[in-house]
Structure 1
């Protein structure tokens, strides 16, 4: 199966290389086949026409010779003598009377097999124009007509020339020519394939170079291919211009998000402060005012968190998101987060770990933020009567943190994209009020600490988010 997959990957039926090879091979095949066919037809025509000319000359000369001999001898002797003079090893003549009896024939019939001789002599009609015929796998040029002497019809003349050897040699030559043409087409196709592969090499290099360009490389990325055709150089120049425009657009977008997040966070924090101040004097408010102000305060806090997430992402994109890494006891960190989450979410959250201290070099507050985001995500997207399990394990040299829920699950086609910014699975996230930044923040923070995050999910069976970090030894003084 791997060999077949590798074959199809190497010979993509939609690739430009295969299309060019097939196109040129088809043109070569048609061209060589046409040339071979025309050559065959021309050679056969030359071969057959020369024999037809010989037969026509004999058919035209025989009556004159008989007439000439008849002046000195009887008709029967004259006819036999003329036939004898004009016949040779490959040419056979005979004359039939009106009642289909042979009145004269050449003396070389013993060179033919009896079966062929009998079949030839049994012919009653023959075209006056020479034509090619086949009798028992033997090839003959045949011609006939009425034989007249002194205005008297003696009978029907039959002239046949055996060209079996020439025809068989010609057919063998045609087969050899066909086989040679096939080999030439294969060789030409192979040479063309190598040449096309070499010619398309700059395009493959260009594709490989563009594949490895990431968002962080857009500003410095520049494609350059040496010794490339003019068209590829033009394409490379166009790509460089496009990358430059993308880099400018991306930089403007990041700057805009950073500026907006920074400028909006301060006034919203002030507004939230005033709302909290008013809510602390809620005795002066009626129930409608209290509800409105509480809703406004919650939405303000949610917007502030959103802006903080956007600001963190913008800082990470610009390389300004700083980490204070140190070796920490993860058992203690995750236990603290689980207790806090269980208290505020009023959900059953279990913490499972091995009976061993597990440590890693991380930013304490950032990892705490990651675990809180994942637990909050599990709380939002799982029924309230199901439990959430947080696992901490050590596998070889890696620390494994898992947050497991028994929620709705994530469709397979969405699992590869849920860590993208603002991406939401609508089927499961229509009532949660999320903005699609939580998992993107998780991925950014974990990768910045040298780890990886992944998800495994089944519809109706829940999801498991897994974080892996390099393990470290805990210092003795901790």
Structure 2
């Protein structure tokens, strides 16, 4: 079943890619195809109508020629024979193969003469309003004609003629069917050629989209779209896009430099301020409770600001490529146990470690320890004190995995895709009380990816969250 499922998935992807009603390729193909179908159909319909009219005109002229002779011959024979015999004699003289003739009295109630192949069905067809067109009588095709006959200016009756064109009509129908088949094949070939041409014409745009999607913030200054074989309009678009990338790269570099410089410049005086505040709290015995509380608050805020500046410096170094990773084989079981013990020393939260086998990975021990502390800090902040936190180490398909699992408030589904963004906080009010700035997870993601791993999250609102760190073994 797997090959069948894989084939179905391939067809589904092709259908989504090429039959997307909102895509430019689909719209252009559909519109041009409809115009082609309309044009070829119009040509085919006009050609068929013209061929039919030519057939009618040719045989109508022949019948009209015979009809014009008919009154003269009747008048000629009426001088020598009775009327009925003169009519029959005239019909016999003017009759040609495939032409049926009959004559009715003026009131139309009596057939005075007819050729041998005239049938009752044919005569009943002659009562309908006759127009220059093809009539089907039984299994035959006829062109019908009706004209008045007068002898010595005295109305004698009406002559009816039916020219059999069955063979010609069958040939015409076969020709029309062939023309239809050719038009259908030409339409399909045109649609296929149009689709392939449009697809080829849009390939530079697809290549441009693919290249643009692969560009990251770190590559802005070194990324340029190269479309040598693209149309002029697409080349101009690519040049404009390259200029925009250059401007974004310059702005991004300036932003990184600014953040790094301002963080470095502010951290030193704030560290001095924090040191003086802590020293003042330790050495001053003549402070009242209010003064001590104010100094303690100022010291705590200074420490929080120093931590924020350190986080910004870490991100700036990572963005600039200045972060160095000392990768070495590390037994993850020992590292996880060390972080769990460290958490237990500075708090009363229960951290459970679960590991069935020893798992080793190539990581930077200090950086991974920093990531685990960040994740544990989040788990502690967003779960109740009575709920334990789990650290799980396992190996699956030659991958080393560390899971940090809590049973806290969880993360809403709409926020899962953004929790690794910088300065993004799910709950602003709760984050303010816990002291978060929305940088911990961003730093963790940057460090894990810098070591060649990846970090993922699963969460259910009200049940808890699980962060998974995956490294190749």
Q: TM-score, normalised by structure 1?
A: 0.89
For the pair 1:59 / 2:67, whether they are aligned, the reply is yes
Query: Residues 23-172 of structure 1: matches in 2 within 5 Å?
Result: 23-97=31-105, 98=107, 100-109=109-118, 117-122=119-124, 125=127, 127=129, 130-172=132-174
Deviation by residue 1:133-154 (Cα, 9 ceiling, x = unmatched): 3322432222224322123332
Deviation by residue 1:136-188 (Cα, 9 ceiling, x = unmatched): 24322222243221233322322222222222222222122111110110111
The aligned counterpart of 1:214 is 216
Shift of 1:54: 2.4
Q: Is the 8 A contact 1:347 1:387 kept in 2?
A: yes
Query: Which consecutive residues of structure 1, in runs of 5 or more, have no partner in the other structure?
Result: 110-116, 472-478
Shift of 1:34: 0.5
The 2-side partners of 1:468 and 1:74 are apart by: 116
The aligned counterpart of 1:319 is 321
Structure 1 pair 83–371 and aligned structure 2 pair: CA distance change class (3 A): same
The aligned counterpart of 1:114 is none
Shift of 1:330: 4.2
Q: Is the 8 A contact 2:351 2:391 kept in 1?
A: yes
Query: Which consecutive residues of structure 2, in runs of 5 or more, have no partner in the other structure?
Result: 1-7
Structure 1 pair 107–324 and aligned structure 2 pair: CA distance change class (3 A): closer
Which of 240, 248, 256 is equivalent to 1:246? 248
Which of 15, 25, 28 is equivalent to 1:8? 15
The 1-side partners of 2:463 and 2:457 are apart by: 13
Aligned length: 463
Shift of 1:342: 1.8
RMSD of aligned alpha carbons: 2.5
Structure 1 pair 192–447 and aligned structure 2 pair: CA distance change class (3 A): same
Tell me whether 69-78 or 12-21 shows the greater mean CA deviation: 69-78
The 2-side partners of 1:72 and 1:378 are apart by: 126
The 1-side partners of 2:471 and 2:142 are apart by: 91
The 2-side partners of 1:39 and 1:93 are apart by: 32
Tell me whether 199-208 or 72-81 shows the greater mean CA deviation: 72-81
The 2-side partners of 1:129 and 1:404 are apart by: 90
Structure 1 pair 336–284 and aligned structure 2 pair: CA distance change class (3 A): farther
Q: Is the 8 A contact 1:126 1:144 kept in 2?
A: no
The 1-side partners of 2:36 and 2:384 are apart by: 68
Shift of 1:413: 3.7
Deviation by residue 1:65-98 (Cα, 9 ceiling, x = unmatched): 2123334444444322221122112111111234
Aligned with 1:222: secondary structure?
Answer: coil
Query: Residues 367-406 of structure 1: matches in 2 within 5 Å?
Result: 367-395=368-396, 398-406=399-407
Shift of 1:441: 1.1
For the pair 1:425 / 2:426, whether they are aligned, the reply is yes
The aligned counterpart of 2:5 is none
The 1-side partners of 2:429 and 2:15 are apart by: 38
The 2-side partners of 1:355 and 1:7 are apart by: 43
Which of 271, 293, 296 is equivalent to 2:295? 293
Q: Is the 8 A contact 1:129 1:144 kept in 2?
A: no
Q: Is the 8 A contact 2:382 2:409 kept in 1?
A: yes
Q: Is the 8 A contact 1:56 1:130 kept in 2?
A: no
Q: Is the 8 A contact 1:147 1:156 kept in 2?
A: yes
Deviation by residue 1:243-268 (Cα, 9 ceiling, x = unmatched): 11111111111111111111111121
Deviation by residue 1:290-347 (Cα, 9 ceiling, x = unmatched): 2222222111111110110000110111111234444455444433322221232321
The 2-side partners of 1:396 and 1:186 are apart by: 49
Deviation by residue 1:23-44 (Cα, 9 ceiling, x = unmatched): 2211111110011111111111
Which of 225, 228, 233 is equivalent to 1:226? 228
The 2-side partners of 1:315 and 1:253 are apart by: 12
Q: Is the 8 A contact 2:125 2:137 kept in 1?
A: no
The 1-side partners of 2:335 and 2:124 are apart by: 113
Structure 1 pair 145–315 and aligned structure 2 pair: CA distance change class (3 A): same
Structure 1 pair 368–86 and aligned structure 2 pair: CA distance change class (3 A): same
The 2-side partners of 1:262 and 1:470 are apart by: 35
